[in-house]
Amino acid sequence: MFLESECQHLFVETNNIRLHCVTQGEGELVILLHGFPEFWYSWRYQIPVLARHFKVVVPDLRGYNDSDKPESGYDLDTLSADIRGLIDRLGYVKAHVVGHDWGGAIAWHLAQKFPQYLNRLAILNAPHPQRFVQEIASNLDQILRSWYIFAFQIPGIPEWLIQQNLKDFVKAALQGQAVRKGAFSAEETQIYQAALEKPGVVGAALNYYRQLFNSNSWNFGQKTDLVTSPTLVLWGEDDAFLSKKLTEGLDRLIAAPFQLKLVPHCGHWIQQEAPQTVNRELINFLRGY
């Protein structure tokens, strides 16, 4: 059971910005990275369970909720530098990094470019950057699933539309796309809505997508750096946004022990739709069982 009163809220200066973080527990460092359109709260079911064994730190990513919202820095290199700085400022040499959705993209990038910062890597419904580029360039099914990414490229209009219809947007994205419909109560969607209502959040969140096609971070045509950290990928099989095909061929991109576990009858919001399964798998993996 999640009790926010047992957590500590703090602000950490990293990479010339301030990240708001929630932390609980002691021991080896575990960093949990959320996705779009969420914030630290998406890990509410994991924080107390992991905190029995680890020091758990969950930042609001750059631009989200109570973290700083600069105009720039939403490319993978800069977002990864935010997390590297966070590890340093917390007094650690390396961390276990767990990422979902955009947080997973950052985690993949960290593991490829800065392996010295990682112990173990856990990915939840987040495609490997190079695999995603391949699929979005050639797979009609994934192109159709990713229609919103193309829509978000238009300046100004998506922010305005989302802000004008924020309640419906949150409900459609979270409740509407969850396979396990009990994952989001009305109260929980209101909490997400309140976080997105804060000035600058929606525009910052969309900037992640606007960096997607002009970012050197995606290594177009370049040799792919292999992931050298032990890696676990958990994937809700019925993700409406990301094709299960994105899980194919990952073993060729990881030069370390690798596990892929598909979670049936589960959508994109895996750590909230199947929290007990995710908690069990993360504990076993991060403790080296």
Q: How far apart are CA 214 and CA 268, in angstroms?
A: 25
Q: How far is CA 178 from CA 13, 126, 135, 188, 236, in A?
A: 35, 16, 23, 13, 10
268 is catalytic: yes
Based on the residue annotation, tell me whether 251 is a catalytic residue of this protein. no
At 45 the three-state DSSP class reads coil
Q: Where are the beta strands (DSSP E) in the chain?
A: 8-14, 17-24, 29-33, 55-59, 95-100, 118-124, 231-236, 258-263
Structure-token match 């630290």, residue found: 40
The one catalytic residue in 68, 75, 101, 239 is 101
Report helix angle 129-138 to 102-113, nearest 10: 120
Q: What is the DSSP letter of 225?
A: P
Helix axes 76-89, 102-113, angle to 10 degrees: 80
Amino acid identity for residue 202 in this structure: V
Both tokens of residue 137? Answer: 């360039």
Catalytic residue among 45, 64, 74, 209: 209
> What's the rounded Cα separation, in Å, for the pair 182 and 149?
27
What is the layout of strands, in order, in the sheet containing 17-24? 8-14, 17-24, 55-59, 29-33, 95-100, 118-124, 231-236, 258-263
Identify whether the C-beta of residue 285 lies closer than 8 Å to the C-beta of residue 278.
no
DSSP 229: S
Active-site positions read 101, 209, 268
